[in-house]
Amino acid sequence: MIVKNLKILSQNVCKNSLIVNTLLETQNQFDIIFIQEPSWSEIHKIPSSSSHDGEPLMGTNHHPNWISFTRFPAERLDSPRVIVYINTCLSSLHFLLQKDIINHRDIILISFFNNNVYSDSFHSTLKYLKDTEVNIDNVLIMTGDFNIRDSLWDSSFPFHSSISDDLIIIADSFNLTLSNPTNPCLTRYSDIAGEANSVIDLMFLQYGLSELNHHSILPECHLSSDHASLFINIPIHKEVIYTLKLSIPPKSDQETAFIKEIILNFKKLDTSNIEDTEKLKHIVQQLGAIIEQSWTKNAKKSKISKHSKQWWMKEYSHSLNNYRTTRSLDNWKSFKKVVKNVKKSFFDEKIQEVANKSHGPWKLMNWISKCKLPTAEAIKHNSHPCLSPESLWDAFHSTFNTAFNYQVDLNILSKIERKATSQWYPFSKEEFKQVISKCNNSSVPGPDKLTWHHLKHIIK
């Protein structure tokens, strides 16, 4: 497909990992997601030479469909407060984290054009930008949670702050101007009694671009966060990027229909009179046409991703829709419980599959997998190993000169004994089943769409 613009979503998630996980699973229509205040906690223990219990591996949400960009902390109290997720479909655009220009826990500078900002209540981000000389050309967007209330962007707030002037000056130094939302509304909802709702999530866009002058607020997308989402379409130069593919999800209705249709058409083939190679080729071509036609009919278009099996089930969508409709705390807890239970069930099944079926428990622990030494053998010349560049050169030089202009007698090929043509013996269905039972269900026997898993069903 031809990509003409990038869809960008900005969201403060209030350190809630479930919100991030839900956004990454359900918001595939966006190309880039800016996250402020992500969760940063212990994922698991990793083996340590100094601690019997292991050392904590710290991190945040990761997802196979998204490339994450963040500044890795030097210490525990320096954990990042902004993260950028970019859809893997856009990996060919070669986004880059520019820590050489700005290296701060509250700011992410991603080339080729975007900024993600989180400013705490002490305005440490603005102070950093004000005190640091940064020369960046062609910045198109700067967005995030700025934690500043001001009458300039919040009509319900009657005061003006000097901090706002600093922010405007910094934005102006990047040739950015404050963007007016197409649907002006509050962006932060306070759950503290007596504290008013406000507008503190802002977006600054490059000055003077007529096609880049407004963004939208999506108050219905914030889930349990107290911040609304910001959305904008960024026009870019046309890029041809393959983002869609045809696929049939395993154990789906489409896969069942695909197999049934193939079986029905296979039965109609006349294979009783295959006497020569040409007739065999004709039958094989018919088989290929049947598979291709059935695949095209039952496959669905999906975004290119690294998913092999999705753990996101229909139950999630139903439970999530219930919460979005009612916005009740009980439904949010129900959604959280569903996610936890189904996720646990899915990954327990995967662990059992790896541990019992493939008998490879090391696959469960990639971070401590056995180190395989490269297979190496010293080159020998005249029964002596070549351990220096000089000895290697002597071996190569003398070997090349020995073989150079050497005449090869091709008549030796005629002395090879000819073997009698072997007869093709028929085999039973049971023999075929025994052979393919050892084949991996996720692999394919040839260039067509039929996997060993499908063939096993067809033979049954």
Q: What is the DSSP pairing of strand 82-87 with strand 32-36?
A: antiparallel
Q: What type of residue sits at position 427? A: F
Instruction: Evaluate if residue 272 carries a pLDDT over 50.
Output: yes
User: Helices H, strands E: what count in the chain?
Assistant: 10, 19
Residues 236-271 have pLDDT tens digits of 776 666 666 778 887 888 899 999 999 999 888 888
Residues 65-90 have pLDDT tens digits of 888 888 888 777 788 889 999 888 78
- How would residue 33 be classed by pLDDT, with cut points 50, 70 and 90? very high
- Span 164-183, average pLDDT: 89
Q: What is the DSSP pairing of strand 180-181 with strand 214-218?
A: parallel
Residues 427-447 have pLDDT tens digits of 888 888 888 888 887 777 776
Q: What is the DSSP pairing of strand 141-145 with strand 66-69?
A: unpaired
Instruction: Evaluate if residue 293 carries a pLDDT over 50.
Output: yes
User: Which tokens belong to 298?
Assistant: 């039952």
Name the most confidently modeled range: 49-53, 134-138, 199-203, 432-436.
199-203
**Secondary structure element (H or E) that encloses residue 3, with its range:** strand 2-12
pTM here? Answer: 0.60
Q: What type of residue sits at position 124? A: S
**Secondary structure element (H or E) that encloses residue 330, with its range:** helix 329-352
Whole-angstrom Cα distance, residue 228 to residue 214? 16
**Under 8 Å between Cβ of 298 and 258:** yes
Interhelix angle for 452-459 vs 429-436, to 10°?
A: 150
Q: What type of residue sits at position 231? A: F
Domains of the chain: 2-240 (3.60.10.10)
The predicted structure's pLDDT at residue 243: 63
User: Which tokens belong to 184?
Assistant: 């002006």
Residues 313-345 have pLDDT tens digits of 666 677 777 877 887 888 888 888 888 887 788
